[in-house]
């Protein structure tokens, strides 16, 4: 291989490997046993000559790494993730390294996990499973694990991008929920979908579903029964959910987070869960991954899973393939594919505005 490409982790599937090997690349996959690589570990991997790197969301891609990659002749970096809050795109620009991410292929998989957590929280599935396994079930009772009916309730979505919109559609269509959403951009596609589905229900003699585009986040928090967070993590969304905003939510609301941990003030959330036993959460991400804030793991009204929202076989293979294509494309000087509805590789190179 003429080009040296490093992947900091082994990734699912073989297509991404073959793509690189068939195109003049010598691929090195790091086999280090420890889960999270430090900046020093990655500098050692980059070495003296490296044309491109495929990295992970757990790694700190800042000034130091882009300087090292550029010094080794590197032109491209791809995160194997849609979120890129771990990447300093300005630093990459400064060192002439193109940056890619892997949107599109994880939209439905991630939305399906948010939907799963919503249902699991509404129907207290994890608590009930623990109860059953603990041998505590001694007969049917009218009060046993009574939860919330989603039908006719309002689902609130904060951040109606690809994932937020897919989740909204699943909850509206699957469970006949009304929608309230907040996003800086209007999602006319989503609005049209809910309107058309509402008309369909009405024509069949059922209560139609409705939608509303909120003028603020707080409107969503106050009005929705189930709220799912899908914003990007940046300065404006850090601790979006905090003591004050939690206090404005319904006492029996359900909060889902499959975006990034720091969007929620986790200490404030634990306190809120303690004070409001009927308030339930489903969390895929945490403020200090892999750790949880003290007390969270003991709360019966919290469901916690280890950042697995994009973890379907199809999606993970797709993410690996896209990450490889991002790096390969730049190295080989291929034109970059800019279909805003599917992928937006090379965020710092003429990336289209969000669709």
Give me the active site residues, please.
Answer: 260, 289, 307
For position 106 contacting ligand GLV by CB under 6 A, the verdict is: yes
Nearest to 209 by CA among 224, 193, 220: 193
Which residue is nearest to ligand GLV, using beta carbons? 161
For position 87 contacting ligand GLV by CB under 6 A, the verdict is: no
Residues in region 48-67 near ligand GLV by CB under 6 A: 57
Nearest to 316 by CA among 117, 101, 80: 80
d(CA 86, CA 157): 24
Is there a contact between 335 and 323 (Cβ–Cβ < 8 Å)?
no
Pairing of strands 226-229, 154-158: parallel
For position 162 contacting ligand GLV by CB under 6 A, the verdict is: yes
Q: Please say which residue, 24 or 108, places its beta carbon nearer to ligand GLV.
A: 108
For position 316 contacting ligand GLV by CB under 6 A, the verdict is: no
Q: How many CB atoms lie within 10 A of CB 288?
A: 10
CB of 258 to ligand GLV, least distance (A): 8
3-state SS, residue 211: strand
Is there a contact between 6 and 53 (Cβ–Cβ < 8 Å)?
yes
| Contacting residue, 17, 42, 69, 81, with ligand GLV by CB under 6 A | 81
Torsion angle, CA of 94/95/96/97, rounded to 10 degrees?
-110
Q: Please say which residue, 25 or 336, places its beta carbon nearer to ligand GLV.
A: 336
For position 262 contacting ligand GLV by CB under 6 A, the verdict is: no
For position 322 contacting ligand GLV by CB under 6 A, the verdict is: no
Size of the residue set binding ligand GLV (CB under 6 A): 13
Chain centroid to Cα 322, Å, comes to 17
Q: Please say which residue, 165 or 178, places its beta carbon nearer to ligand GLV.
A: 165
Residues whose CB falls within 8 Å of the CB of residue 24, separated by 6 or more in sequence, listed in order: 1, 2, 3, 332
For position 255 contacting ligand GLV by CB under 6 A, the verdict is: no
Q: Please say which residue, 52 or 164, places its beta carbon nearer to ligand GLV.
A: 164
Q: Please say which residue, 81 or 253, places its beta carbon nearer to ligand GLV.
A: 81
| Contacting residue, 118, 310, 312, 326, with ligand GLV by CB under 6 A | 310
| Contacting residue, 52, 55, 100, 103, with ligand GLV by CB under 6 A | 103
């Amino acid at each position: 291989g003429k080009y040296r490409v490093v992947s900091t982790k082994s990734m699912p599937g073989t297509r991404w490997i073959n793509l690189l090997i068939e195109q003049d690349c010598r691929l090195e996959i790091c086999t280090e046993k420890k889960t999270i690589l430090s900046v020093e570990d990655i500098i050692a991997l980059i070495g003296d000559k490296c044309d491109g790197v495929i990295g992970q969301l757990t790694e700190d891609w800042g000034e130091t790494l882009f300087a090292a990659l550029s010094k080794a002749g590197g032109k491209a970096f791809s995160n194997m993730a849609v979120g890129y809050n771990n990447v300093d795109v300005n630093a990459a620009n400064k060192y002439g390294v193109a940056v890619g991410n892997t949107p599109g292929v994880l939209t439905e998989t991630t939305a399906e996990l948010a939907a799963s957590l919503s249902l699991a929280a509404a129907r207290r599935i994890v608590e009930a499973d623990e109860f059953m396994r603990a041998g505590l079930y001694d007969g049917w009772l009218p009060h046993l694990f009574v939860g919330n009916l989603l039908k006719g309730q309002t689902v609130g979505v904060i951040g109606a991008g690809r994932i937020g919109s897919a989740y909204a559609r699943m909850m509206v269509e699957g469970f006949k929920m009304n929608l309230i959403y907040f996003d800086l951009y209007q999602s006319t596609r989503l609005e049209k979908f809910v309107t058309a589905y509402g008309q369909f229900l009405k024509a069949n003699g059922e209560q139609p579903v409705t939608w509303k585009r909120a003028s603020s986040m707080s409107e969503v928090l106050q009005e929705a029964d189930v709220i799912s967070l899908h914003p990007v993590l940046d300065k404006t969304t850090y601790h979006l959910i905090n003591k004050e905003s939690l206090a404005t939510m319904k006492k029996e609301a359900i909060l889902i987070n499959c975006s990034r941990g720091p969007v929620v003030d986790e200490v404030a959330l634990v306190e809120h869960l303690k004070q409001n036993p009927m308030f339930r959460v489903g969390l895929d991400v945490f403020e200090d991954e892999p750790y949880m804030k003290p007390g969270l793991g003991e709360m019966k009204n919290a469901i916690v899973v280890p950042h697995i929202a994009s973890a379907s076989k199809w999606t993970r293979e797709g993410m690996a393939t896209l990450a490889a294509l991002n790096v390969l494309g730049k190295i080989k000087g291929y034109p970059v594919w800019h279909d805003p509805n599917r992928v937006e590789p090379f965020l710092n190179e003429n990336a289209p505005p969000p669709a």
